[in-house]
Chain A
Amino acid sequence: MFTRVVFAEAVKSLKVYFFSSRTLFWALALPLGNGLYLYFLYLPFATKSVDLQFGATTYTIDLVGFTIIGQLLYSFFTMMLLAGASFDAERWQGTLEVLLLSPASRVAILLGGALANAVNYVWMLVALVLSWVAFIHVSIFVTDPLALCGSLLLSYLAMMALGMCLETVDVYSRRGSIFTAWLQEPVMFLSGQIFPLQSLPVSLLPLSYLLPLTFGLMAVRLTLLGGASIYDVRMPLATLASMTLIFFILASLLVNYAERRAKTKATLTQF
Chain B
Amino acid sequence: MFGRKSTTVIRALDQVDFEIQDGELFGLLGPNGAGKTTTVKILCTLLEPTSGHAFVKGYDVIKDGGHVRKIVNMVAGGERMLYYRLTGRENLKYFADLYDVPKKEVTTRVNNLLELMGLSDRADDEVEKYSKGMRQRLQVCRGLINDPEVLFLDEPTLGLDVNIAKDLRNFIREKVVREQGKTVLLTTHYMYEAEEMCDRVGFLSKGKLVAVGKPEELKRELPSGFSIELLVTRATEETIGSLRQLEPVKKVIVTDYEGEAEGEKIDRLIVNVNSDKAVPQVLSHMANKHCRVVSFNLRGPTLEDLFMFYTGEK
Contact = CB atoms under 8 A, between A and B. Distances in A.
A21 B4 CA distance: 12
A196 to B, nearest CB: 41
A91 to B, nearest CB: 12
Nearest to A20: B2
Interface string B229-269: 00000000000000000000000000000000000000000
Interface of B: 1-2, 84, 128
A268 to B, nearest CB: 12
B128 A21 contact: no
B128 A19 contact: no
Contacts of A271: 84
A270 interface: yes
A270 B84 CA distance: 9
Interface residues of A, number: 4
Interface string A242-271: 000000000000000000000000000011
Contacts of A19: 1-2
A19 B128 CA distance: 34
A221 B92 CA distance: 58
A270 B2 contact: no
A254 to B, nearest CB: 25
B137 to A, nearest CB: 19
B128 A270 contact: yes
Interface in A17-55: 19, 21
Contacts of B128: 270
Interface in A146-168: none
Contacts of A270: 128
A21 B2 CA distance: 8
A19 to B, nearest CB: 6
A116 B128 CA distance: 33
Contacts of B2: 19, 21
Closest 5 CB pairs of A and B: A19-B1, A270-B128, A19-B2, A21-B2, A271-B84
Nearest to A24: B2
5 contacts: A19-B1, A19-B2, A21-B2, A270-B128, A271-B84
Contacts of B1: 19
A21 B1 CA distance: 11
A270 B128 CA distance: 7
B105 to A, nearest CB: 33
Contacts of A21: 2
A21 B128 CA distance: 35
B85 to A, nearest CB: 10
A271 B84 CA distance: 9
A19 B1 CA distance: 7
A87 B24 CA distance: 47
Contacts of B84: 271
A270 B126 CA distance: 12
B37 to A, nearest CB: 19
Nearest to A14: B1
A143 B222 CA distance: 89
A270 B129 CA distance: 10
Nearest to A94: B80
B87 to A, nearest CB: 16
A56 B282 CA distance: 103
A221 B1 CA distance: 34
